[in-house]
């Protein structure tokens, strides 16, 4: 067992965990943050467990909880701002970018990181950015549209703030 200090969605937690505990299990089983999902056998392929570690998208099934010691984690539960769901989340609903919703948290976390790096992506760039997330329901068409719409809204929102 090892004691770790992790900030998750802005709250600091000090927890004693087995060294072998996966970060995704720590989030789900210890902190009851069940929005982060497991869709493959901890092999990092499906992307449903994607969270942010210090602002960067990572797959929480490929990390141990002890590796997050001293770091800040954001999960899908921490993605909405004070005003409710943000532009990326709203775009997924408006464009019907989700069906069963199981892959959605991981896609939202990956794409929020992606849009921070690529504020004006082409459809091809969006599709390439999505290869670490599997979706079985949507055929990706509406997901690409949602990301494109969110990028536009976020750019317009950003320019309004500057003006």
Partner 1 sequence: MSTVENSADWLGARLARKEDLRLITGQGRYLADMVLPGMLHAVFVRSEYAHARITGIDTSEAAAMPGVVAIFTGVDFKDTVKPMPQPVVKPNLPARYPTFWPLAIEKVKFHGEPVALVIARDKYVAEDAAECVYVDYEELPVVRDPEQALGPDSPLVHEEDGSNEIFAMTLTGGETPEEQAANAAAVEEIFQRADVVVAERFRCHRTGITPMEPRGVLCDWNDSDGLTAWITTQRPHIDRLALSDLLEIPAEQVRVVAPRDQGGGFGVKAPFYRENLAIAYAARALRRPVRWVETRYESLMNVGQERDQINDLEIAASKDGKLLAVRNRGVADNGVGTTGVYWGFVMPFLGAVELPNAYTWERGDVSLRCATTNKAALTPSRAFGHFPTRFALERAIDMVAHKLDMEPAELRRKNLVPSLPYTSVTGEYYDSGDFVKVWDNLMAQADLPAFRAEQAKAREEGRYLGIGFACGVELSGVASELLVPMENQPGYGAATVRLDPRGKVYVFGGDAPGGQGHETTTAQVVASLFGIRPSDVVVTTGDTGTTPFGSGSIGARAGSYFVSAVAKACAEIKDKITRILAHDLQIEASVQHFEFTNGEIVYLGDAAKRKPFTEVVERIIMFPINLPEDEVGGLEHTAFFEAAKPMICFNADCCIVEVDVESGNFSIKRWVTSEDVGTVINPNIVDGQMHGAIVQGLSNAMFEEFVYDEQGQQMSADFEHYKLATAADVPDIEITYAPTPCPHTPLGTRGIGEGRPSSVPGALSNAVCDALRPWGIEITDLPLRPGSVWQKLRETRG
Nearest distance from C-beta of residue 75 to partner 1, angstroms: 7
User: Which tokens in the block code for residue 109?
Assistant: 């976390």
Residues in contact with partner 1 by CB under 8 A are: 18, 20-21, 28, 33-41, 43, 45-46, 48, 75-77, 79-80, 85, 89, 92-96, 98-105, 108, 123, 126-128, 130-131, 133-144
Nearest distance from C-beta of residue 151 to partner 1, angstroms: 15
If the CB atoms of residues 20 and 160 are measured against partner 1, the closer one turns out to be 20
User: Which tokens in the block code for residue 82?
Assistant: 């004070």
Nearest of 123, 2, 15 to residue 73 by alpha carbon: 15
If the CB atoms of residues 6 and 47 are measured against partner 1, the closer one turns out to be 47
If the CB atoms of residues 10 and 161 are measured against partner 1, the closer one turns out to be 10
Q: Is 83 exposed, middle or buried (0-12, 13-18, 19+ CB in 10 A)?
A: exposed
Residues 6+ apart with CB under 8 A from 80: 86, 89
Angstrom distance (rounded) from CA 55 to CA 57: 7
Nearest distance from C-beta of residue 103 to partner 1, angstroms: 5
Nearest distance from C-beta of residue 104 to partner 1, angstroms: 6
């Amino acid at each position: 067992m090892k004691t770790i200090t992790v900030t998750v969605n802005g709250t600091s937690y000090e927890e004693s965990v087995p060294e072998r505990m996966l970060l995704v299990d720590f989030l789900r089983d210890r902190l009851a943050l069940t929005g982060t999902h497991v869709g493959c056998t901890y092999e990092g392929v499906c992307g449903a467990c994607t969270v942010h570690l210090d602002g960067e998208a990572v797959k929480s099934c490929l990390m141990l909880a002890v590796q997050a010691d001293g770091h800040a984690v954001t999960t899908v539960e921490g993605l909405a701002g004070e005003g409710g769901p943000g532009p990326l989340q709203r775009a997924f609903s408006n464009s019907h970018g989700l069906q069963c919703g199981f892959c959605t948290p991981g896609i939202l976390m990956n794409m929020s990181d992606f849009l921070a790096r690529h504020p004006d992506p082409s459809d091809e760039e969006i599709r390439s950015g999505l290869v670490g997330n599997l979706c079985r329901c949507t055929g990706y068409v509406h997901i690409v549209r949602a990301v494109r719409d969110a990028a536009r809204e976020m750019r317009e929102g950003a320019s309004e703030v500057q003006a």
